[in-house]
């Protein structure tokens, strides 16, 4: 009898010890992570894996993995071709359900990326499917980037080179006369949490210029209260006769504190080209999924080279042609030749109702000349 009982006892004890070890090593947690029991949890677990760039784990969360290439999935969340997203970090995300039944659901995710040029938000409505066993998995979009046929794009754009006195002057040249630039308009606004100075600047010269606009707020006694620069809310490189909007923010300031504003436009001579040409199409004012007023449109890279990081600067005008707001935004997706990419930049609700016209200019950054 003991010969029969002892093996059974040993077998049961072995199973118990294995179960205890499994629990202590996180087995329950791994099982929970493998089996998402709600649509929100499925999206949350996928994004957690994407946050650590564990693309294999994230890809395993897909219900339609057979329809989506893993490399394309990783590019969608992690960027490609030196785009801003390739240099970004997914810091955190928010997930909430929009619709659900027993089989399918729609979950909205707001992804917060940190980059060298500031935070980026990406809002996605993600479909989730129940696999029949109670586990939810994500249905990833299967859209593919179109592949264009080989073609020849003529290169006939203007180009300005600079012959330097020394190798240390290979970018902005300081030992020649600065290009002539002029501030053509200036408007001071009081916003709830800041004073904003905005307007337009023009390059009046026959050579390209790298431009920064600076402003100082002056107290009644003429002393400067605060000084700021346009930073990236401007198109810095201006070709001859080109106009750019600018915006300068003074956080925490009130117009009542200010008697006057001192403006200054700094310019340097730089080499530049008129290529790549980036067309702006399909522009329209809309309300986005989060209820914000935005200007949407599409950018079309008409050249034959990749634009790694596009930067949109939009100026808005009232019925009198006065600049009443300037907004900007970086695209986290690269511009491939001849393929349109959508953009959206937001503006305050109280300003949107006064807008009669708007104008968009596009900066760009490329790895091969940055």
Give 221-282 as a DSSP string: TS-EEEEEE-TTSB--EE-TT-EEEEEEEEET--GGG-SEEEEEEEEEE--EES-S-EEEEE
Residues 266 and 288 in one domain: no
Residues 260 and 184 in one domain: yes
> Which domain range does residue 312 map to?
276-369
- Is 148 a domain residue? no
Residues 263 and 327 in one domain: no
- Is 154 a domain residue? no
Q: What is the pLDDT along the chain (370 residues), one digit of tens a residue?
A: 555 555 565 566 665 556 565 445 544 444 454 677 899 999 999 999 999 999 999 999 999 988 999 999 999 999 988 999 999 999 999 999 998 888 999 999 999 999 988 888 898 999 999 988 889 999 998 876 677 777 777 788 888 888 766 656 555 555 678 899 999 999 999 999 999 999 999 999 999 999 999 999 999 998 999 999 998 899 999 999 999 999 999 999 999 989 999 999 999 998 898 888 999 999 999 998 778 899 999 999 998 889 999 999 999 999 999 999 999 999 999 999 999 999 999 999 999 999 999 999 999 887 765 4
- Is 313 a domain residue? yes
Look at residue 155 in the predicted model and tell me its pLDDT: 80
Residues 166 and 268 in one domain: yes
CATH code assigned at 353: 2.60.40.10
Residues 226 and 241 in one domain: yes
- Is 12 a domain residue? no
Q: Which of 254, 272, 290 corresponds to the end of one domain?
A: 272
Judge contact between 112 and 93, C-beta under 8 A.
yes
CATH code assigned at 81: 3.10.450.100
Residues 256 and 287 in one domain: no
* Separation of alpha carbons 303 and 364, rounded Å: 13
Look at residue 132 in the predicted model and tell me its pLDDT: 81
Query: SS3 for 8?
Result: helix
Look at residue 31 in the predicted model and tell me its pLDDT: 46
CATH code assigned at 258: 2.60.40.3230
Residues 83 and 126 in one domain: yes
- Is 248 a domain residue? yes
Q: Residue 9 belongs to what H/E stretch?
A: helix 2-24
Q: Which of 272, 289, 304 corresponds to the end of one domain?
A: 272
Look at residue 180 in the predicted model and tell me its pLDDT: 95
- Is 47 a domain residue? yes
* Separation of alpha carbons 326 and 179, rounded Å: 24
- Is 97 a domain residue? yes
Residues 90 and 193 in one domain: no
Look at residue 26 in the predicted model and tell me its pLDDT: 46
Nearest by Cα to 137 from 68, 61, 190:
61
Residues 262 and 285 in one domain: no
Residues 183 and 228 in one domain: yes
Query: SS3 for 202?
Result: strand
- Is 6 a domain residue? no
Query: SS3 for 321?
Result: coil
Residues 107 and 87 in one domain: yes
Q: Which of 212, 245, 272 corresponds to the end of one domain?
A: 272
Residues 39 and 115 in one domain: yes
Look at residue 163 in the predicted model and tell me its pLDDT: 75
Q: How many domains does the chain have?
A: 3
């Amino acid at each position: 009898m003991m010969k029969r009982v002892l093996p059974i006892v040993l077998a049961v004890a072995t199973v118990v010890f294995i179960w205890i070890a499994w629990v202590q090593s996180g087995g329950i947690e791994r099982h929970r992570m493998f089996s998402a029991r709600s649509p929100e949890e499925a999206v949350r677990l996928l994004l957690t894996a994407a946050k650590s760039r564990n693309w294999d784990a994230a890809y395993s969360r897909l219900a339609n993995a057979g329809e989506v290439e893993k490399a394309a999935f990783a590019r969608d969340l992690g960027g490609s071709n030196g785009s801003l997203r390739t240099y970004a970090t997914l810091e955190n995300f928010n997930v909430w359900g929009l619709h659900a039944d027993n089989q399918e659901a729609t979950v909205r995710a707001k992804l917060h990326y940190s980059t060298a040029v500031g935070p980026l938000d990406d809002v996605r409505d993600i479909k989730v499917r129940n696999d029949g066993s109670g586990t939810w998995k994500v249905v990833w979009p299967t859209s593919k980037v179109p592949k264009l046929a080989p073609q020849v794009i003529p290169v006939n754009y203007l180009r300005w080179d600079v012959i330097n006195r020394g190798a240390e002057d290979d970018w902005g040249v300081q030992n020649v006369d600065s290009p002539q630039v002029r501030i053509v308009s200036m408007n001071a606004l009081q916003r709830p949490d800041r004073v904003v100075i905005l307007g337009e600047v023009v390059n009046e010269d026959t050579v390209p210029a790298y431009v920064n606009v600076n402003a100082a707020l002056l107290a009644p006694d003429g002393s400067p209260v605060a000084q700021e620069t346009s930073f990236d809310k401007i198109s810095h490189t201006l070709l001859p006769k080109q106009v750019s909007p600018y915006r300068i923010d003074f956080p925490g300031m009130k117009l009542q504190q200010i008697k006057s504003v001192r403006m200054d436009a700094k310019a340097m001579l730089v080499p530049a080209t008129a290529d790549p040409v980036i067309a702006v199409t399909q522009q329209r004012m809309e309300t986005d999924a989060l209820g914000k007023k935005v200007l949407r449109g599409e950018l079309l890279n008409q050249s034959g080279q990749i634009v790694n990081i596009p930067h949109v600067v939009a100026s808005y005008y009232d019925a009198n042609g006065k600049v009443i707001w300037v907004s900007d935004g970086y695209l986290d997706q690269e511009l491939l030749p001849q393929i349109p990419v959508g953009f959206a930049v937001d503006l305050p609700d109280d300003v949107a109702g006064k807008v009669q016209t708007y104008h968009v200019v596009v900066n760009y950054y490329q790895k091969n000349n940055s």
